[in-house]
Amino acid sequence: MTDSTSASTSVPAPVSAPLEPSGSSGPGAATRFDGLHNPTFLQACMRQSTPYTPLWLMRQAGRYLPEYMATRSKAGSFMGLATNTDYATEVTLQPLERYPLDAAILFSDILTVPDAMGLGLSFAQGEGPRFAHPVRSEADVARLEVPDMAKLQYVFDAVSSIRRALRQDGKGRVPLIGFSGSPWTLACYMVEGKGSDDYRLVKTLMYSRPDLMHRMLAINADSVAAYLNAQIDAGAQAVMVFDSWGGVLADGAFQEFSLAYTARVLARLKRLGADGQVVPRIVFTKGGGQWLSDMQALDCDVLGLDWTVNLAQARALVGGTENTAGKALQGNIDPNVLFAPPAAIETEVAKVLQSFGTPYRGSGVGPTHIFNLGHGISQYTPPEHVAALVEAVHRLSRSMRG
Amino acid sequence: MTDSTSASTSVPAPVSAPLEPSGSSGPGAATRFDGLHNPTFLQACMRQSTPYTPLWLMRQAGRYLPEYMATRSKAGSFMGLATNTDYATEVTLQPLERYPLDAAILFSDILTVPDAMGLGLSFAQGEGPRFAHPVRSEADVARLEVPDMAKLQYVFDAVSSIRRALRQDGKGRVPLIGFSGSPWTLACYMVEGKGSDDYRLVKTLMYSRPDLMHRMLAINADSVAAYLNAQIDAGAQAVMVFDSWGGVLADGAFQEFSLAYTARVLARLKRLGADGQVVPRIVFTKGGGQWLSDMQALDCDVLGLDWTVNLAQARALVGGTENTAGKALQGNIDPNVLFAPPAAIETEVAKVLQSFGTPYRGSGVGPTHIFNLGHGISQYTPPEHVAALVEAVHRLSRSMRG
């Protein structure tokens, strides 16, 4: 079996399938996800009922795991890990060996695309990412192009390899999520050259020369779309756009410089994987809670939420009702909860689940929740606390469904 | 004339005065603010009509001004400036000499209160504030007490001195705002010991030992109330609570650990200054845009907003209508706009003014706007760009009133 024929080969349902009344046939074949041992994550993405609330954790393959640090030490560096198919596969699977998570996410970085554009990505020891050639002038912007996707083949190879590894027992254990940074978030790093406290350089460019910023964002959007489509071709079963820095924008500027280009990405994405299954799309804007009603218009299936968002209000605003359009919601516990003792973690898990309320339980589509952190897990997290979180989410969410 | 008799000595109006229908008598005598050459800021705080939109800038006395750097260099350090009455007065007035701003704000720091608690504040060259003795253990929390306000006499002396300086020509030129950090924001620094990217230590304490956090916050709230009341006694004509780190809290945690203690401060504040005038209270939660409806219940007059907030929506939500209760709104242009050329600054000023819409124009009370940045001004700001901003706000807001 190859990636492209690993699951259902039935005729794909039309894109509108998730909105069909449940009726006699239930959701379309392309959204049945029955080629997996554990399809709960994909089902919840498509607003279908699941027996418990599925969960995965942003940055679940990361520095808090000693086995990750061991592999990284063999690889020599972060990019040494990310560009080596075997290592990338190994670390992607590590959290799944420890915890019964409901999805895997490709081990990579959001900045691979600008690296392929020639900006020279590196990760200095103990610091964040850095570009050797940031975009600072009109000439720098003029030089930008959608990169040759061949330069990112290491990412697509990792996707295929991880899918193979997940399918060792004949069926995929859990689905694999591919991802990219959003056009705006990439632009932040491309201009600043590294992380920033105030985004002064990128905002100076944006407010002074919006024409240049729009050109950069258009190139970024087309690059991200090509990149995610290639991940889908390689076997990614869901894709997520990380708008990590959308929340630093002013109201108005967010819609113009971030949201519009995330929409441009979504418009160019393949709706179905090579296996004929729908590939759910997730959009996560950190700090975007005030713009949920704007994001409702995005052509995506899931909205990721950080911990500042009230899930009950978000559900009422964008979650839809039975057999009406809406977004599945993903999130949103504060990663710092994981520093508290297990009993306190369970209390906070219960608050998040109760804030969303009982998810949809019928045979059509309705409001659903995918549990996650509101941001990436901290490197200082005790691994046994993650076990307590996962156990609490599964147990409490199952009991809520009564 | 002393501070306590510098303005109207008429009988104070009841606290409910701003909500009285305009009728024949207009707003109560205590909110007439006629002891000032330029009362527009205080009038707008109390939702009274003004001929243009008043403005001031958070951190308006700061490092972007060469004259500030000169005084600071004489003083030797930030705390050398803040603790010296003459220097604090000098730098407070510097931006008023350059720009026709509509309010002065005390030059000080939000961390003076924990410093008075004995935590040992210092500002290392080129870094942010740092506490020598952060609060990390149950014993540390047990040791905390409301500090003797005599330790903060240098702040109250500065307030009196600035008021005297503003009154040199017989009337106060513009009103003086006093301020403090919010109980939660102080707790962040007290536990972390300095600024933080993830607030891991303070949130670990909060989620692990909420009892200790509540004790610390109660002490902070009572300290902040005593501190602001002493500023009011010394002559502060408005007070502002900076909840700079409220926005890092999860929904639910914000209400419990930040908002409740800001409310406790407000409940203990004097409503009238020694001169019998109402002292408007401003609450600014950076990143708090999603919680405006919660903040509506605060016993304050003005809500400060950062640049992520849509002013039209905020006005509809909490701004009230003619002669109904509501909050004046303060904010909210992105400080990074000031790096763009003057023409672009004017465009962005117009967007902010238009987003709020035409302020109330009657003789009672109604929705009003005080222009400000959404956060403190950057040290890299070109001073001539600030002049362009101030000019544009006054001119455009006057013309909007037709």
Q: Which of A32, A47, A59, A167 is catalytic?
A: A59
Tokens of B322: 């003619």
Is B308–A351 a contact, with Cβ atoms under 8 angstroms apart? Answer: no
How far away is chain A from the Cα of B226, in angstroms, using its nearest Cα?
A: 31
- B63 tagged catalytic: yes
CA-based diameter of chain A, in Å? 61
Please judge whether A334 and B250 are an interchain contact, meaning their C-beta atoms are less than 8 angstroms apart: yes
Check CB contact of B247 with chain A, cutoff 8 Å: yes
DSSP string, A247-304: GGSPTTHIIIIIIHHHHHHHHHS-SB-TTS-B--EEEEETT-GGGHHHHTTSS-SEEE
For B332, list phi and psi in degrees, rounded to 5: -155, 40
Candidates A32, A72, A167, A173; catalytic one? A72
DSSP B213-248: HHHHHHHHHHHHHHHHHHHHHHT-SEEEEEETTGGG
Three-state SS at B368: coil
Q: Which residue of A has its CA nearest to B246?
A: A308
Q: Which two tokens stand for residue B107?
A: 């030059």
Is position B72 annotated as part of the catalytic site? Answer: yes
Question: Could you list the mean pLDDT of each consecutive 10-residue stretch along chain B, which spans 402 residues?
Answer: 37 39 48 88 98 98 97 92 96 96 96 96 83 96 98 98 90 93 97 93 98 98 98 98 98 98 98 94 98 98 98 98 96 98 98 98 97 97 98 97 85
Local structure of A361: helix, strand or coil: coil
pLDDT at B34: 79
Scan residues 47-76 of A and list those with Cβ closer than 8 Å to B.
none
pLDDT at A124: 77
Inform me whether the C-beta atom of residue A392 falls under 8 Å from chain B C-beta atoms.
Answer: no
Complex-level ipTM: 0.91
B109 is catalytic: yes
Q: Which two tokens stand for residue B197?
A: 């990217």
Q: In the Cβ-directed half-sphere of A259, how many Cα atoms lie within 13 Å? A: 23
Nearest in space to A106 (alpha carbons), one of A48, A157, A44, A47: A157
Which residues of chain A make contact with B308, given a CB cutoff of 8 A? 247, 249-251, 254, 287, 290
Catalytic: which of B32, B47, B72, B167? B72
Q: What pLDDT, on the 0 to 100 scale, is given for residue B125?
A: 72
Does A355 contact B252 at a Cβ distance shorter than 8 Å? yes
Contact partners, residue A52, CB within 8 Å, separation at least 6: A40, A393, A394, A397, A398, A401
pLDDT value at residue B13 = 41
The answer to whether the CB of B194 falls within 8 A of the CB of B111 is: no
Q: Give chain A positions within 8 Å (CB) of B344.
A: 207-208
Q: CB count, 10 Å around CB of A256?
A: 17
Q: CA–CA distance from B43 to each of A171, B19, B150, B279 (Å)?
A: 70, 14, 32, 11
CA B292 to each of CA A55, A286, A366, B185, B306: distance values in angstroms, whole numbers, following the listed order? 30, 19, 29, 18, 12
Counting one residue from A and one from B, how many pairs have CB atoms under 8 Å apart? 103
- CA-to-CA distance for B54 and B52, rounded, in angstroms? 6
Helix, strand, coil abundance in chain B, percent, nearest 5: 50, 10, 40
pTM: predicted TM-score of the whole model, two decimal places: 0.92
What domains does chain B contain, in order, with CATH numbers?
3-332+360-381 (3.20.20.210)
A196 and chain B: CB distance < 8 Å anywhere? no
**How far apart are the C-alpha atoms of B181 and A151, rounded to whole Å?**
50
Chain A interface, best mutation among B251, B294, B351, by max A CB count within 10 A? B251
- Minimal Cα–Cα distance from A317 to chain B, Å? 13
- Looking at residue B17, its pLDDT comes to 39
A3 is catalytic: no
Output the pLDDT for position B28: 62
The residue ranges of chain A whose pLDDT is under 50 are: 1-26
Contact B344 A254 (CB under 8 A): no
Check residue A164 and give its pLDDT. Answer: 95
Contact B208 A341 (CB under 8 A): yes
- Spatial separation of the C-alpha atoms in residues A15 and A300, rounded to whole Å: 11
- Tell if the CB–CB gap between A207 and B310 is shorter than 8 Å: no
Task: Transcribe B242-305 into DSSP letters.
Answer: EETTGGGSPTTHIIIIIIHHHHHHHHHS-SB-TTS-B--EEEEETT-GGGHHHHTTSS-SEEE-
DSSP state of B61: S
Residue B274's pLDDT is what?
Answer: 87
- Who contacts A48 (Cβ-Cβ below 8 Å, separation ≥6)? A27, A31, A360, A365, A368
> For this structure, is B163 an active site residue?
no
